[in-house]
A and B are shown apart, each in its own frame.
Chain A
Amino acid sequence: MEKIEEKLKILADAAKYDVSCSSSGSKRKNTGGIGDASASGICHTYTEDGRCVSLLKILLTNHCIYDCAFCVSRRSNDVKRAAFTVEEVVDLTMNFYRRNYIEGLFLSSGIFKNADFTMERLLRIVKKLRTEERYNGYIHLKTIPGASEELIKEAGLYADRMSINLELPTEAGLKMLAPEKDHDSVRKPLAFVNQQKQAFKAESKLIKHVPTFVPAGQSTQMVIGATPETDLEIMGVANSFYKDYKLKRVYYSGYVPVNNTSSLLPQIGTTPPLIRENRLYQTDWLLRFYGFQLDELLNTHHQQLDLDIDPKLSWALRNPHLFPVDINTADFNAILRIPGVGKKSALKVVQARKFGRLSEYQVRKMGIDFNRAKFFMRCADTPFSLGALSMASVKNRILREGNSKYKRMMPQAQLSLF
């Protein structure tokens, strides 16, 4: 009893820096056992850091042969080590799942002995869950770089999602902090799983009962702020990984200092770059769901995202010639680009205006951030004003009137010297 509690403490603590907790995207059905995957995903609780807890996220072991400077489980770090048995992981998962604590299992591991040995152990657990416990809930499994293709392929038949972390956005950063690793060993298995997934998909069009293969797709993660990459570099890498490997998600993890012996890294006690992390996610969303191209948001003239305003507002301020947008005539995509208007409200506007021209009082209620949007749009009753506001004063007014959650974390407005 005591023992399993201690193990859970160590191995959950070591696993928590993997930020992915998504349980969405799979449609696995309950076929005469227990559990299913909810396509939308379910967050069963949230920790005090505000992060969702959907999966039981643990390492099989935190013993590791590698010595990556940014990782808490690195070989040279003096931390307690532990390892679960296959039975313990299965027992924990089933009992948490049956009580509706969790949506499924997120299983990762330090590398012990070698890649194949580790992958084979992970595979044994998911196989037992699927075949012996007849468990159909969600499973997110780490692909261990360097593991044989046979093992990875078999694991893909049991897992809903697989992932491999890129760790650092650029090869140069990786060489600096984890000289034993390289990006190629991440690209290769990502490509292999993607290619298998496409093959299974093609086959299922011809044959009726093809087993599902990683139905919720693949994801990866980059550590932000441990190495000096620009936002342009980071998003460039993310963008190409989305395209090359059809990833479902790229996660950006603001570096939480866990190492004081390397002078290359931010020291313990330094606050993680939370605002920057948030801005990167916003950019990621704009690229995937709002029809933006990367060079509109970040380019050689604008290599870092603004911290005080979000990337969509920043883009709008740099493109005053595109505004104001008339919400009664503009097309959906133009409305979607108005700062403060999201997908759902844009759709509401486009549907509602068929019944008559929309006025401010109507649009305000449709879920848009009116205080921000008002500078960039025209409604039926918006009065004409002579001469547009300068974008600099728009920004000031939005910052002054707005209630950004980051207000108190921002340095106060800097005095200009001139």
Chain B
Amino acid sequence: MYYVFDGSYAGFMSCVFESFERKEPGAIPVTELDFQPGLFQEGRTVQTDLAKMERVLRGLRKQLGDQKVLDFFRAFLSEDRKVWLSSFHIIHQIFQAGPAVLTNYGDADVLYFSQTLHKVSRERHRMKAFTRFQKSADGLFFAIIEPDFNVLPLVSGFFKNRYADQRWLIYDVKRRYGLLHEEGYVSEVQLTAPEKDALTDKAATITLDERDAQFELLWKQYFKSTNIESRRNMKLHLQHVPRRYWKYLPEKQG
């Protein structure tokens, strides 16, 4: 039995709720986009229901505590369908056998879940490290990112605390949304096509702060000067800064 939901975390948790209510632990949650109805694929549409999500989360919090419950959200942000299914199974096990199952690393679902969390956490950390702001003439610091996973929600608090006195915008081009920080508040923004082009196009329509190019140049200079040529180790370099991140790192641009 497939449970078809809208692709949101609330929708996913509504599926969990539904599977308990209908006593169908073998259900498989799929998004509307992924689902292809076929002869042998029975599907039921599950309505996203915030109250149902809250009931599942409340139950989990009782078992695991607030922080651990967030792990399911973190794993969900990987957008990996396989780990969604593992989470689904694990939640069922937790309600049956208690929170200890989360350390049963001999179990394929539990191990995969924990490995995915590790991957998501690494990507979150990379976005803290590799996000590069440019300063526009009107004082907005803006950055483009293209992370492997949907980690923007996980770095919001970090940037809010660190750049508390700055107006900033971080835009995920892959998922087409961004976070805007103004006067202590972070809000989610969607950009119109021309706005997005202005942001990503190098022949920008955004006027940069007059000293912005200078500091970018100085940064590139510093990056070169701090390297020790006789210790050159490109394998290690690439391991730490894989090529897919270079696009948005000024120091890796010519």
A8: chain B residues at CB < 8 Å are 218, 221-222, 225
- Among residues of B, the one whose C-beta sits closest to the C-beta of A34 is B165
The answer on a CB contact under 8 Å between A100 and B131 is yes
The answer on a CB contact under 8 Å between B106 and A362 is yes
A210 vs B135: C-alpha distance in the bound complex, in angstroms? 37
The answer on a CB contact under 8 Å between B141 and A99 is yes
Q: Which of B225-247 contact A (CB under 8 A)?
A: 225-237, 239-241
Decide yes or no whether B143 CB sits under 8 A from chain A.
yes
Known: A5-B218, A49-B227. A354 touches B111 (CB 8 A): no
The answer on a CB contact under 8 Å between B231 and A98 is no
The answer on a CB contact under 8 Å between B218 and A48 is no
A101: chain B residues at CB < 8 Å are 132, 219
- Among residues of B, the one whose C-beta sits closest to the C-beta of A53 is B226
The answer on a CB contact under 8 Å between A49 and B141 is no
Known: A351-B103, A352-B106. A99 touches B132 (CB 8 A): yes
A354: chain B residues at CB < 8 Å are 100, 103
A13: chain B residues at CB < 8 Å are 225-226
B103: chain A residues at CB < 8 Å are 348, 351-352, 354
- Among residues of A, the one whose C-beta sits closest to the C-beta of B236 is A50
- Tell which of A33, A43, A100, A356 touches B143, judged by Cβ atoms closer than 8 Å: A100
Could you tell me how many residues of chain B have their Cβ less than 8 Å away from some Cβ of chain A? 54
A1: chain B residues at CB < 8 Å are 214
The answer on a CB contact under 8 Å between A16 and B232 is no
User: What is the predominant secondary structure among interface residues of chain B facing chain A?
Assistant: helix
Contact string, B97-117, partner A, CB cutoff 8 A, digits 1/0?
000100111110001000000
The answer on a CB contact under 8 Å between B222 and A49 is no
The answer on a CB contact under 8 Å between A9 and B236 is no
- Among residues of A, the one whose C-beta sits closest to the C-beta of B239 is A50
Decide yes or no whether A418 CB sits under 8 A from chain B.
no
A12 vs B133: C-alpha distance in the bound complex, in angstroms? 22
- Tell which of B163, B211, B226 touches A16, judged by Cβ atoms closer than 8 Å: B226
The answer on a CB contact under 8 Å between B211 and A95 is yes
B229: chain A residues at CB < 8 Å are 49
A365: chain B residues at CB < 8 Å are 111
- Tell which of B132, B163, B221, B223 touches A53, judged by Cβ atoms closer than 8 Å: B223
Could you tell me how many residues of chain A have their Cβ less than 8 Å away from some Cβ of chain B? 59
A393: chain B residues at CB < 8 Å are none
Decide yes or no whether B251 CB sits under 8 A from chain A.
yes
Known: A13-B225, A348-B105. A38 touches B128 (CB 8 A): yes
Shortest Cβ gap from B178 to chain A (Å): 15
A110: chain B residues at CB < 8 Å are none
Known: A42-B129, A45-B129, A100-B143. A50 touches B240 (CB 8 A): yes
Decide yes or no whether B156 CB sits under 8 A from chain A.
no
Decide yes or no whether A44 CB sits under 8 A from chain B.
yes
Decide yes or no whether B73 CB sits under 8 A from chain A.
no
Decide yes or no whether B68 CB sits under 8 A from chain A.
no
Decide yes or no whether B47 CB sits under 8 A from chain A.
no
The answer on a CB contact under 8 Å between B241 and A45 is yes
Decide yes or no whether A274 CB sits under 8 A from chain B.
yes
A17: chain B residues at CB < 8 Å are 228
Known: A12-B225, A30-B162, A98-B133. A48 touches B234 (CB 8 A): yes
A8 vs B229: C-alpha distance in the bound complex, in angstroms? 17
The answer on a CB contact under 8 Å between B240 and A52 is yes
A390: chain B residues at CB < 8 Å are none
The answer on a CB contact under 8 Å between B161 and A30 is yes
Q: List 29 A-B contacts (CB under 8 A).
A: A8-B225, A12-B222, A16-B226, A16-B227, A30-B161, A34-B163, A34-B165, A38-B158, A42-B129, A45-B241, A45-B251, A47-B223, A47-B226, A47-B228, A48-B233, A48-B237, A49-B232, A49-B233, A56-B222, A96-B215, A99-B132, A99-B134, A99-B215, A99-B216, A101-B219, A348-B105, A353-B106, A356-B106, A366-B105
Known: A42-B125, A46-B240. 16 other contacts (CB 8 A): A17-B228, A34-B163, A42-B128, A44-B129, A45-B223, A46-B237, A47-B223, A51-B227, A51-B231, A56-B222, A96-B218, A254-B231, A272-B230, A272-B231, A358-B106, A366-B105
Q: Which 7 A-B pairs have the closest CB atoms?
A: A50-B236, A352-B105, A50-B233, A12-B225, A47-B227, A351-B103, A49-B231
